[in-house]
Amino acid sequence: MTWEIIAPLFFAGLSAGFIDAIAGGGGLISVPALLAAGLPPQMALGTNKMQSTWGTLMAVRKYAKAGLVSWPQVRLTVLVTLVFACLGTWTVTQVSSEMLKKIVPWMLLGIAVYVLLSPGLGKTAAKARLGLVTFACLAGSVLGFYDGFFGPGAGTFWTMACISLLGLELTRATAFTKVVNLTSNLASLLVFVMADRIHYPIAAAMIAGQLIGGRLGAGMAIKHGAGFIRVVFITVVFAMVTKLLWDQLAAA
């Protein structure tokens, strides 16, 4: 590997970690960067999962240190998510995910429009619609499986679930999302490690960037609160929708 390859990947990791820590969607930056570096698709996905896991870990640490993670609240959801993310990652090796590729952009677009038209969404805590056990079983199984099986927009779906079903304020919903994202990332990473689909030298360069980006992004989100997260959230979701729809058109 040359510095001409390492340097851009380091900054791709930093940028992806920054965006991921605030609103998710860092894969929009990191996966294309890995493919542009010449990695085969499966190796790019595995390497991306390795580097993004470290950035998410840094973000979780930052949110937890700020007192925004309630471990009793999140622990059952983590357990359910871990099980179903493993199941989802195993399933994707057995079947095609083509149908999800067609459906997910429109689901994300619907969320983005809803958030855009609801300026007060997540500004303050609201009454929970589900108990913790029900939420853990429902969201952990569905979104854990989805993140392991396909992934794009999983953080967005988690954040909306935390706001609408648990009644969390947006900053705490983002912190909750980072914890469960870390769980599903670790589950998927285990599968990729066992399948030997990780380019470790490239992953190391991107992890260095991710650790910096994750810390900076979480710090910005904690400092500026729900309003800042909302702007980044909407921007990232629209960017994700555009990319996914463009990929569909290009493949047609």
Structure tokens, 198: 């990780």
The angle formed by the CA atoms of residues 19, 23 and 28, to the nearest 5 degrees, is: 50
Q: In 112-129, which positions are buried (b, 16+ CB within 10 angstroms) versus exposed (e)?
A: beebeeeeebbbeeeeee
Note the pLDDT tens digit of each residue in 225-249: 888 888 888 888 888 888 888 887 8
Contacts of 73 (CB under 8 A, 6+ apart): 132, 176
Q: What's the mean pLDDT when you consider all of the chain?
A: 87
Measured CA to CA, the distance from residue 182 to residue 74 in angstroms comes to 12
Task: Check the CA dihedral 210-213-214-215 and report its sign.
Answer: positive
Q: Give mean pLDDT, residues 169-175.
A: 93
Predicted local confidence at residue 12, as pLDDT: 93
Sequence-ordered strand ranges (E) for 81-238 = none
Rounded to whole angstroms, the Cα distance separating 194 from 202 reads 18
Q: Residue 97: its pLDDT value, please? A: 60
Range of the domain at 133: 3-251
Number of structural domains, the chain? 1
34 close to 141: Cβ distance less than 8 angstroms: no
Average pLDDT of the segment spanning 77-95: 87
Choose among 238, 248, 243, 233: nearest CA to 32: 243
For the cut 70, the answer to whether the pLDDT of residue 51 exceeds it is: yes
Kindly indicate the confidence band of residue 184, based on its pLDDT and cuts at 50, 70 and 90: very high
